[in-house]
Amino acid sequence: MSKGKTRFDFSDQTVVVTGGSRGIGRQICEAFAEAGARVFTCSRRPPQDPYRSERITCESVDVRDPEATEAWLARCAEPRGGIDVLVNNAGGAPSIASEEAPPKLTNKILELNLNAPLILSTQVHRHMIDLEDGGAIVNIVSISSHRPTPKGAAYGAAKAGLMNATSSLAVEWGPKIRVNCVVSGLVETELTGDHFGDESSKRQITRAIPAKRFARAEEIAHAVLFLSARDSSYVSGAALEVYGGGEWPPTVPQPEDD
């Protein structure tokens, strides 16, 4: 699949994406719109630049507020009488030593990264279950769900919980609603410098990745479209790992850089 292009067809489908104003979420919105979908997204702040497609509508919605998300999903479903795809993308957390993290911050991290996507999934159920082809839910789950996350224990725990919720809901809601997750590795976005430092620091990080680079946001978007597509109708409860091969084992010497 070529960079920035998709061969999936989502014509006449309604797709909802949380956290779609920038980064991975924005690229997911653009990819679905390019594939023909009508896309509804939300964020805490409006996008700085206009979307490439007029098929994308963005609202200001706090995904941690169940009443606000319930009303928003109803608005998204109204044009076609349902929602075909939900992508739970909104998330994140600051890096902080666990012993210094105030309880209020820990609760906010869990609300955003676990509670919100779980509640949104239960709310979207009514907008999918009666559709002829059912619906698809895709959760964006970090590689932090797989490994220790020092200075991010609450975030890693939330993502691990979301992975469990993914497989649990896939069993409970099959066959009409498929639920999958994308296990995302390190992704190059406009915020990469804030998280991973300068170019020297980023090179040191990517040395441990077999692909020798960060993922591009569109590569995560392509994985989301694959899991959402009706052609993937037998894929449910899956965790699609998109992280460039994982990490080089710390006990094995790495090859010298070319």
Contacts of 179 (CB under 8 A, 6+ apart): 121, 136, 137, 138, 139, 166, 167, 169, 170, 173, 236, 237
N- to C-terminal Cα separation, the chain: 27
Active-site residue, selected from the candidate residues 51, 155, 234, 243: 155
Distance CA 17, CA 83 (A): 11
Distance CA 187, CA 179 (A): 23
234 is an active site residue: no
Antiparallel, parallel or unpaired: β 56-60 and 38-43: parallel
Closest CA to 115 of 72, 65, 67: 65
Tokens at 157, concatenated = 């725990």
Contacts of 174 (CB under 8 A, 6+ apart): 236, 237
Distance CA 23, CA 189 (A): 5
Q: Report the phi/psi class of residue 23: left, alpha or beta, with left for phi > 0 and alpha for psi in -120 to 50.
A: left
Q: At what angle do helices 103-110 and 153-173 cross, to 10 degrees?
A: 30
Q: Are 244 and 215 in contact (CB under 8 A)?
A: yes
Catalytic residues: 155
